Amino acid sequence: MNQRAFPIGGNDIAPGLPYLAAMPAPSILFVCLGNICRSPLAEAALRAEAARAGLAVTVDSAGTGDWHVGNQPDRRAQATALRHGHDISGYRGRQVGPEDFRRFDRIYALDRDNLANLRKMAPADATAEVGLLLDLVPGREGQGVRDPYYGDEDGFELTWAEVSAAARAIVAGLG
């Protein structure tokens, strides 16, 4: 459990000793191109892994492009998530904005092109760490998550496997 000690006077339980106060939950944003395939699946995978581990995490997803703002995830992404026990039909596409670089602790791009775009979009006062998602998975460093959009259902299963491996790595790093 993430906790930080803060000294405070007047501790009724043990006067003069610090008490433990919970730190804010880490906040993570996943970013792909349109926010209808890879990043919503990554969001669902991390929500599931964090819940399984009993960790509080703020999670969201967005796209660098604006083509799918307001749209549900691709029906194949929804079907894949549902097969794994997660309903993402309520997710809606949105475009990453300057405030995201201050609101989130970490922003993970799903491929190198989106990583480059995020670095160009980052405002001067950005506080988020920006990185490539699969850099967290041993043996996958420098690689992007497969974009299943132009393929079939099998591609979405491969994407689910990749983002799930990264979600497990994130949770292991937070735990």
pTM of the model: 0.87
Spatial distance between the Cα atoms of 101 and 142, rounded to a whole number of angstroms: 22
Active site residues: 32, 38, 147
What pLDDT is recorded for position 175? 75
Write the pLDDT tens digit of every residue in 36-64: 999 999 999 999 999 999 999 999 999 99
Phi/psi for 33 (5° steps) reads: -75, -55
Asked whether the predicted pLDDT for residue 14 surpasses 70, the reply is no
What pLDDT is recorded for position 115? 98
Spatial distance between the Cα atoms of 128 and 101, rounded to a whole number of angstroms: 5
Q: How confident is the model at residue 23 (pLDDT cuts 50, 70, 90)?
A: low
Write the pLDDT tens digit of every residue in 60-113: 999 999 999 999 999 999 999 999 999 999 999 999 999 999 999 999 999 999
Average pLDDT over every residue of 32-36: 97
Write the pLDDT tens digit of every residue in 120-162: 999 999 999 999 999 999 999 999 999 999 999 999 999 999 9
3-state secondary structure the chain: CCEEEECCCCCCCCCCCCEEEECCCCEEEEEECCCCCHHHHHHHHHHHHHHHHCCCCEEEEEECCCCCCCCCCCHHHHHHHHHCCCCCCCCCCCECCCCHHHHCCEEEECCHHHHHHHHHHCCCCCCCEEEEHHHHCCCCCCCCCCCCCCCCHHHHHHHHHHHHHHHHHHHHHHC
